Amino acid sequence: METAKKLYYSKRGEVLVKNLKKRHFDAVYCDTKEDALKQAIAWIPEGSTVGWGGATSAQQIGLMAALNAGNYHTLDRDQCETAQEREKIAKDCLSADVFITGANAISMDGQMVNIDGNGNRVAAIIYGPGSVVVIAGMNKVTDDLEGAITRARTVAAPINQQRFGLNNPCTVTGSCADCKSETCICNHIVVTRHCRPVGRIKFILVGEELGF
């Protein structure tokens, strides 16, 4: 990545870390995917039960591969063979020691926005797992909360929809039509504006473009 963009990301990342900490999140900024992976492993105790959802960015830094190869009890829906097994793993994630996820958007004042279809991901962010580790590239960061909600609705959700290919307007046009389809993936739009208990939700901001 070019130097100017790296500098831009690191300067915004430094401010955002401070603003997240003011809201009682834990947060660190990492310049590279490799540093982000080291930090994530440092925050996940060996032997713990670890689940994840909506974690494309975590996949991209190599975290799932490291956990599956390491001394952890992983709850990996991708290794399930049936819908029933996937459903059980999603429920087990709610009582995991650590839950790993991404962010659809984060505002510079330290608020996170996520959209969810079934709600299992936002449920785990809100309550249940002992800690939540959020891996987010700086491409997810917007100037304000309004921009974060707009990003989540008009960028992240329509791109995410391309993976599922469901019968929703954005599958065809690439743009959100604020649909009310039975198969809509935008059923829960959650703003996480503050963290309690202190430090339960931990952010690793990465100075690279990750996820969507």
- 73, 164, 178, 198: which one contacts ligand SF4 (CB under 6 A)? 178
Q: Cis bond leading into 129, ω under 30°?
A: no
- 169, 188, 200, 209: which one contacts ligand SF4 (CB under 6 A)? 169
Angle, CA 178 vertex, CA 177 and CA 180 arms, to 5°: 110
Stretch that binds ligand SF4, among 59-67, 73-81, 155-163, 194-202 (CB under 6 A): 155-163
- 15, 184, 189, 191: which one contacts ligand SF4 (CB under 6 A)? 184
- 179, 188, 189, 209: which one contacts ligand SF4 (CB under 6 A)? 179
Stretch that binds ligand SF4, among 10-18, 104-112, 138-146, 164-172 (CB under 6 A): 164-172
Residue type, 164: F
| Cα–Cα distance list, 114 to 5, 66, 106, 176 (Å) | 25, 25, 9, 15
- Comparing CB distances to ligand SF4, the nearer of 117 and 137 is 117
Largest CA distance in the chain: 48
Residues facing residue 100 across a β-bridge: 52, 133
User: Which positions lie near ligand SF4, rule CB under 6 A?
Assistant: 157-158, 161, 168-170, 176-179, 181, 184-186
